[in-house]
Amino acid sequence: MTIEEYMSSHRYDDNINELKTYFDSVIDWISSTFIDVESEMKGLEWNRLYETYHLQGYSPTLIHNRVQALYADEYVKKRSGIFEYILGGEQDQRLLEIRIFEEPTKKAVYARQTEKAQKDGVSNCPLCACGSNTNRVKIWKYAEMDADHVTAWSKGGATDISNCEMLCKTHNRSKGNK
């Protein structure tokens, strides 16, 4: 039942006991789950989070440690997503808006692509390799390339090694959200 439906069906009630009990349950659950009270907690859909996750058991200490670690992570761009990310078993990285590949990932992908390109006699930039210009066989240096999401991050592509490819800076910057 939506909030609007609930309010409509209870508009003539002579007390708010049921609603107060529900709100108290949500607040008690939040208080018993999270040690931290952070400004990013304001405005979250706590009723939806409560309905989705309140039956799961959580360790407030472990949650506290994860919140602090994620707050310290420079790659986390959306701090308000940390809470749902943790409650959901740290599965949906899109909640954190992590879009940057880590250096070891980029170097591993670069090495793999470069080795294959040299073996095949084509460019280590996949987009250059399929063209007919002079860069078709160019082996780009690591510093001349950017990491790119094969499936765009905005379309659900993960920021992990299986969704990373190295492109020359020109192709990466012209590719956009494709």
**What end-to-end distance do the CA atoms of the chain give, in Å?**
38
Q: Residue 146: which H helix or E strand, with range?
A: strand 145-149
In the chain, where the domains are located: 15-96, 103-175
Please identify every stretch of the chain with a pLDDT value under 70, giving residue numbers as ranges. 176-178
Report d(CA 98, CA 22) in Å as an integer.
34
Report d(CA 59, CA 155) in Å as an integer.
33
Q: Answer whether 0.75 is exceeded by the pTM.
A: no
Report d(CA 32, CA 24) in Å as an integer.
12
Structural fold of domain 103-175: DNA Binding (I), subunit A (1.10.30)
- Position 177 scores a pLDDT of 55
Residue 175's closest CA among 154, 153, 167, 134? 167
Report d(CA 95, CA 14) in Å as an integer.
40
CB 163 within 8 A of CB 151: yes
- Position 176 scores a pLDDT of 61
Structure tokens at 107: 């170097």
